[in-house]
Structure 1
Amino acid sequence: MISPENDGEKFRWILKAGWKGLCPRCGKGHMFTSWLKVTKTCEVCGLDYRFAAPDDGPAFFSLCIVAFPLTFLLVWIEVAYNPPLWIHLVTSFPIMILGCLLPLRPIKGWLVASQYVNRAQEAGTGKLWAKLHERPPEEGASNFDD
């Protein structure tokens, strides 16, 4: 099992696992079953992905990191060159759509890997998690398989 020791190694591991869609525990299994659907368990080490809750994070980061700068670029092109509408239909819209969709998977992978590596969970959910999954609640237990 992979267990990064310091923050620099953790960060590099999160980026690698997220970018390649690898299991954040073993680095060999696949994190996704389709474009954005996280698998239930790792086929290599058996990591249970029920802890993964990236929610709207990938869409938010994609919009902030990609859509806003692209919007400013495309508005600048419109103001500076005033191209006909068909130019925007052929270039601007595909650039905007691809620019927002393509980063979704790596961002989601980074968020899931970050949740695993940093053992992120909502405060006070340990007992509820144990009850939902029929496990005896342990003091200080988390949602993560070790």
Structure 2
Amino acid sequence: MNIQESNRIEEDLSLKLFIVISRAFQSIKKRVEEDIKCYELNLTEFAVLELLYSKGDQPIQKIGDKVLIASSSITYVVDKLEKKKLIERKGCLKDRRITHATITSEGTEFMNEIFPKHKRAIQEICNSLAAQEKSNMIDQLKKLGYHAYAM
């Protein structure tokens, strides 16, 4: 096999890998969204609520980076979760320009109830892979993601 053939095979494999990853992600995301919808939340609302549940109070301005949503959407999502009484805004005592989002006691109770169910749903989605396969895939996808980010 010459260098051109080898390069073409690499290109074809890379394209196929991209397509497989994209389709797998779409299928997984669809199932996760269906699970979250059962709790009368959308994916973005759940992501913000889960962040506050797991990591505690967060500056509203930083939430978008942490849950991978546009900062322009954060205020809308925070407003919706606040109307549902799951989170609240609190001003920062050290810097009045900063406002934190905080999970309420109702929000904590809600997450205590639904989060274990959500984890089981994710586990069911990933059930076709053995533990070692999951671990290997995590390592490989991180490697791919870090490489793409560094380009």
Normalised by the size of structure 2, how large is the TM-score? 0.26
**Going by fraction, where is strand more abundant, 1 or 2?**
2
Higher RCO, 1 or 2 (CA under 8 Å, sep at least 6)?
A: 1
